[in-house]
């Protein structure tokens, strides 16, 4: 879709188009005229920025927000010194919320110095009614609030906020709509996230995501393939297929298709060099997927497979629908089929009722699964989830002690695992100039580890062969072997 051509065809004097995509282009054009008026009054360009909290899904959503802000005519900047700042929030753990409140205080001071500043909030945290109440009461300077289900309406809501001196709020409880073909501005020219599904149906008992992201909805394979083909035409060589539970992709489509079948189709796209995906749920990971991965040239040697707990008893109360033994069996199957696979995970400590024995089971899985890395989280009580009302919450000091022991175990194993490839020559996607030393470039291995090596910016976006000379714990130092792969 040619965004500019689409915009050109919109007539602001005419009727608002009925088709949702065109409707949003109408509002982009309307915002553009409102912004131009304001810029003429002030005699300067106005700037905008999107600040992302949380996961890869939010990062991708922010690219959509930026895409629209750019088309509206704002100069896009990073950070919070801008005339329009939008926070794309996360609420998976309580501390994510606290960070947003803290930073809103800072934004308020900036707004006092720049009365033209507009502040918007969106994302998962806004789907919680208590949060919106609190913002309405204590953060009156916010101009616009919307949620996860109506993010496609951003242009329309922005137009409303630009014309109003009151707080504009639009939060939906759910949606079954997926609006395609809105503008997107990628952070990296050579790689991109691609949503394949939205929402989650699993209701793990600790997790707020199904409540704030709604029920599972898959995009059609046709739309996904079309988007990736366009991305490839535009210089993308690596895609990350995104969903809360990619393993259940396609089950609810009119013409059902499995995730493994989708991967087979994506693999065929000429010019695409690497495929990643996130996140897999162990209960839905099929043999077919393992087979497709093992035989693929393009799917990266990395699987993020959240464990959450190693205790079958806790897993049951978490509503994860697998046991410790089933999980370990899956790990073994993966390692057997794809020996060089890197395995990463998420683990929660301190789930209500977790005993020392349960925790020992988690340590046991960590030792047996040999994770390349693991994200470890302290259980956070999320209002509205079943676990929040369980009365056997674990005392803070016990949780902290378990967390420290788990972290040590995970880190020791990660160090051991990271060195596995030392001395090998591996293909690397060059991502950026090293932030500490500009004579070095930073690239990513298929298994998701980073390598730093001498080179220059002309290599960015290329896949080159790099000798992994030295492992430095969680990354490698290397040298280029040859620069065309």
Interface residues toward ligand 5AD, by CB under 6 A: 92-93, 206-207, 306, 308, 346, 348, 377, 379-380, 382
Give the angle subtended at the CA of 205 by the CAs of 409 and 369, to the nearest 5°. Answer: 25
Half-sphere exposure (Cβ direction) of 444: Cα atoms closer than 13 Å = 17
121 by DSSP, 3-state: which? strand
Q: C-beta of 210: minimal distance to ligand SF4 in Å?
A: 5
What is the distance between the alpha carbons of residues 444 and 450, in angstroms, rounded to a whole number? Answer: 5
Shortest reach from residue 470's CB to ligand SF4, in Å: 36
Q: Of 40 and 392, which CB lies nearer to ligand 5AD in the complex structure?
A: 392
Q: Between 168 and 348, name the residue whose CB sits nearer to ligand 5AD.
A: 348
- In the complex with ligand SF4, the residue whose CB is nearer, 59 or 425, is 59
Contact, 119 vs 41, CB < 8 A?
Answer: no
202 vs 258, beta carbon nearer ligand 5AD: 202
* Residue 153 binds which of ligand SF4, ligand 5AD, none (CB < 5-8 A, kind-dependent): none
Q: How far apart are alpha carbons 79 and 51 in whole angstroms?
A: 7
Q: Pick the closer one to ligand SF4 by CB: 244 or 426.
A: 244
CB distance 232 to 272 below 8 Å? yes
Cα 305 to Cα 323: distance, rounded to the nearest angstrom = 14
**What is the distance, to the nearest Å, from the Cα of residue 343 to the centroid of all Cα atoms in its chain?**
18
Q: Quote the least distance from Cβ 179 to ligand 5AD, whole Å.
A: 26
Per the listing, tokens 């000429």 go with 270
Smallest gap from Cβ 220 to ligand SF4, in A, equals 22
Q: Decide which of ligand 5AD, ligand SF4, none touches 200; Cβ closer than 5 to 8 Å per partner kind.
A: ligand SF4
- Judge whether 338 and 290 are in contact, CB under 8 Å: yes
Q: Which CB, 97 or 202, lies closer to ligand SF4? A: 202
Burial tier of 481 (Cβ tally within 10 Å: 0-12, 13-18, 19+): middle
Q: Please state the closest distance from residue 92 (CB atom) to ligand 5AD, in A.
A: 5
Position closest to ligand 5AD via CB: 346
Q: How far is the CB of 148 from ligand SF4 (least distance, A)?
A: 13
Give the nearest distance from C-beta 432 to ligand SF4 in angstroms.
30
Can you give the binding site for ligand SF4, defined by CB under 6 A? 200, 202-204, 207, 209-210, 244-245, 281
The alpha helices in 43-79, defined as continuous H runs, are: 56-72
> Which parts of 207-336 are beta strand (E)?
217-218, 238-242, 274-278, 302-304
Work out what residue 382 binds among ligand SF4, ligand 5AD, none; the CB cut-off runs from 5 to 8 Å by kind: ligand 5AD
174 versus 185: smaller Cβ distance to ligand SF4: 174
């Amino acid at each position: 879709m040619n965004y500019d051509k689409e915009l050109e065809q919109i007539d602001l004097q005419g009727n608002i188009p009925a088709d949702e995509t065109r409707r949003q282009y109408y509002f982009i054009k309307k915002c553009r005229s409102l912004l131009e008026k304001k810029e003429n009054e002030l005699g300067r360009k106005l700037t905008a920025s999107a600040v992302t909290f949380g996961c890869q899904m939010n990062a991708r959503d922010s690219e959509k927000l930026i895409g629209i802000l750019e088309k509206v005519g704002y100069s896009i900047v990073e950070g919070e010194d801008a005339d329009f700042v939008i926070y794309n929030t996360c609420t998976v753990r309580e501390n994510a919320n606290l960070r947003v409140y803290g930073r809103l205080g800072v934004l308020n001071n900036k707004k006092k110095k720049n009365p033209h500043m507009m502040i918007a909030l969106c994302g998962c945290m806004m789907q919680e009614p208590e949060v919106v109440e609190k913002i309405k009461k204590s953060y009156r300077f916010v101009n616009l609030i919307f949620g996860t289900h109506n993010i496609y309406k951003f242009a329309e809501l922005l137009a409303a906020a630009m014309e109003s001196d009151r707080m504009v709020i639009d939060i939906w409880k759910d949606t079954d709509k997926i609006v395609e073909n809105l503008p997107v501005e990628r952070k990296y020219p050579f790689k991109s996230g691609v949503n394949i599904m939205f929402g989650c149906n699993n209701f793990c008992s600790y997790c707020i995501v199904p409540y704030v992201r709604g029920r599972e909805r898959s995009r059609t394979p046709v739309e996904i393939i079309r988007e990736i083909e366009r991305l490839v035409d535009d210089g993308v060589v690596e895609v990350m297929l995104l969903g809360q539970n990619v393993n259940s992709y396609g089950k609810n489509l009119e013409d059902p298709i499995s995730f493994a079948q989708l991967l087979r189709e994506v693999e065929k796209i000429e010019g695409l060099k690497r495929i990643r995906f996130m996140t897999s749920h162990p209960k839905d990971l099929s043999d077919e997927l393992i087979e497709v991965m093992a035989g693929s040239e393009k799917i990266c040697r990395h699987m993020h497979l959240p464990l959450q707990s190693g205790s079958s008893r806790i897993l049951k109360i978490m509503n994860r629908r697998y046991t410790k033994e089933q999980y370990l069996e899956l790990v073994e199957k993966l390692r057997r089929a794809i020996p060089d696979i890197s395995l990463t995970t998420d683990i929660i400590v301190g789930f209500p009722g977790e005993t020392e024995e349960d925790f020992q089971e988690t340590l046991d899985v960590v030792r047996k699964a040999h994770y390349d890395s693991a994200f470890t989280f302290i259980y956070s009580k999320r209002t509205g989830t079943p676990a929040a009302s369980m009365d056997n919450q674990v005392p803070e000091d016990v949780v902290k002690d378990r967390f420290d022991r788990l972290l040590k175990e995970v880190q020791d194993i990660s160090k051991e695992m990271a060195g596995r490839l030392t001395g090998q020559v591996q293909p690397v996607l060059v991502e950026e100039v090293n932030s500490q030393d500009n004579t070095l470039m930073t690239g990513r291995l298929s298994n998701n580890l980073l390598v730093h090596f001498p080179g220059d910016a002309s290599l960015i976006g290329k896949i080159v062969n790099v000798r992994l000379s030295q492992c430095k714990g969680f990354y490698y130092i290397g040298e280029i072997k040859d620069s065309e792969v």
